[in-house]
């Protein structure tokens, strides 16, 4: 038995409606996935910012609770070998935190305002502690692959 021309048109129309419904479903899925990706990226940026802040909070806690370290960092005169090593170890940790922030900024994981705060922190540390510049320079010599990072330009300025 052969199909009539009217039956053939109904099947064509039904196929077109099915194609259209499929296209709408694909579009809706893409919108949903785009929203999910955006939320995931926002959460990743938040977590990175929180981790960067956490590094600085840990450093501040060490400084606040270690009297000997405070004395060493605030000492304007020459330091003993032991004091010099303590100061360098503390500055080394700071430099690592600054490099982490620089890397996160360079890769879009923290925003410009957050990075500007880290740069201000570097400037404050530079001006607050007498041996900071010297120890940052020492660190940069030991870590030449990241020594030219933007964050360290703070130590080249007056």
Reported as a single tens digit per residue, the pLDDT across 35-56 is: 999 999 999 989 999 999 999 9
Q: At what angle do helices 81-106 and 132-142 cross, to 10 degrees?
A: 70
For residue range 12-26, what is the model confidence (pLDDT) as tens digits? 888 888 899 999 999
Average pLDDT over residues 90-114: 95
Q: Which residue has the higher pLDDT, 52 or 154?
A: 52
Of 114, 5, 93, 98, nearest in space to 50 by CA: 114
Q: So what's the pLDDT on residue 6? A: 59
Q: Are 90 and 138 in contact (CB under 8 A)?
A: no
Whole-number Å distance between alpha carbons of 140 and 27: 51
Whole-number Å distance between alpha carbons of 144 and 129: 23
Phi/psi at 155 (5° precision): -85, -10
Which tokens sit at 42?
């926002």
pTM score over 0.75: yes
Give me the helices (H) in 1-158, please.
Answer: 5-65, 67-74, 81-106, 112-128, 132-142
Instruction: Name the one residue in this structure whose structure tokens are 């933007």.
Output: 150
Q: Are 118 and 52 in contact (CB under 8 A)?
A: yes
Tell me what the pLDDT averaged over the chain comes to: 91
Q: Are 106 and 112 in contact (CB under 8 A)?
A: no
Of 150, 94, 79, nearest in space to 119 by CA: 150
């Amino acid at each position: 038995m052969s199909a009539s021309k009217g039956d053939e048109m109904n099947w064509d129309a039904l196929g077109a409606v099915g194609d259209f419904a499929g296209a709408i479903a694909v579009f809706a899925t893409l919108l949903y996935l785009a929203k999910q990706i955006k939320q995931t990226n926002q959460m990743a940026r938040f977590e990175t910012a929180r981790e960067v802040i956490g590094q600085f909070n840990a450093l501040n806690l060490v400084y606040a609770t270690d009297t000997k370290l405070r004395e060493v960092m605030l000492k304007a005169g020459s330091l003993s070998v032991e004091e010099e090593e303590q100061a360098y170890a503390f500055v080394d940790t700071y430099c690592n935190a600054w490099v982490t922030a620089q890397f996160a900024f360079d890769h879009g994981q923290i925003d410009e305002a957050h990075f500007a705060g880290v740069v201000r922190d570097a400037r404050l540390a530079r001006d607050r502690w007498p041996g900071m510049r010297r120890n940052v320079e020492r660190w940069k010599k030991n870590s030449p692959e990241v020594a030219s990072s933007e964050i360290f330009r703070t130590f080249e300025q007056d």
